[in-house]
Amino acid sequence: MTHTSGYGRVFWLGVAVGTVLMGYGVVLLVHGPVQDWPTANARLVTPGFARRDAVNQFMVIMMLHDVVLLPLVFGFAAAVLPRIPPLWRAPLRFALIVSAAVLLVAAWGLAGQAIRVQPGNPYILPNHYPTSVAVLLTPVWLAAVGWGVVTQLKHRASTGRSTSGVGPVAPTPTG
């Protein structure tokens, strides 16, 4: 079987699996709030309200993604990436996009940690969100640095030149 679009079988398999998973997520979004709603609140909140509330929250998240996250990521990338060596751009993009998504999700916890939400009630925000975000983002940035170093070393080995563009790598003396 030939693929005229230039994408291989693995790509199209990933598209198929991703589409099925997104469809399942939409089903859970619509039906999950009704099935998971606590029975104690059944008289206070109707299933229709729970469904609308879940869809509204999903729409807010999508708007935050489109109005806040994407402009920040693209603006930062447009300002910074031209100054970065080409071999480091992909790892930096990866780390920036993941970091921006994590910070967007964690923004409410980070903001709540900075202000007194409900004094005397330690159960409102029990976690220390700055530490949690740092623990989550540390492996992301370590992976990006590792990716950049490996890419740079592979490039240096394949071209026999330094990646700075200054000149050839000095041969090592063999004894």
Pick the more confident residue, 7 or 2.
7
User: Which residues on neighbouring strands pair with residue 161, listed in sequence order?
Assistant: 168
DSSP-based three-state secondary structure for 8: coil
Three-state DSSP class for 168? strand
Rounded distance, CA 99 to CA 76, Å? 12
Q: Could you tell me the pTM of the whole model?
A: 0.58
Q: What is the pLDDT of residues 119-169, one digit of tens each?
A: 666 666 677 888 889 999 999 999 999 999 999 999 998 887 655 544 455
And the tokens for 14?
């990933």
Query: What would the pLDDT profile of 83-121 be if each residue is shown by its tens digit?
Result: 999 999 999 989 988 998 888 888 777 776 666 666 666
Instruction: Output 27 or 4, whichever has higher pLDDT.
Output: 27
Helix (H, G, I), strand (E, B) or coil at 126: coil
Domain boundaries of the chain, sorted by first residue: 9-63, 84-163
* pLDDT score for 77: 85
% helix / strand / coil in the chain, to the nearest 5? 75, 0, 25
Six-digit token pair at 44?
């206070």
pLDDT (0 to 100) of residue 73: 82
The 10 Å Cβ neighbour count of residue 30 is: 13
Question: What tens digit of pLDDT does each residue of 21-78 get?
Answer: 988 887 877 766 555 545 445 555 666 666 777 777 777 777 877 888 788 888 988 8
Strand partners, 168: 161
- The 10 Å Cβ neighbour count of residue 121 is 9
Task: Quote the pLDDT of residue 148.
Answer: 95
Q: Which two tokens stand for residue 172?
A: 């090592």
Q: Give pLDDT, residue 40.
A: 42
Alpha carbon distance 26, 40 (integer Å):
26
Determine the 3-state secondary structure of 114 from DSSP: helix
What's the confidence (pLDDT) of residue 34?
52
| pLDDT tens, position by position, 11-26 | 899 999 999 998 888 7
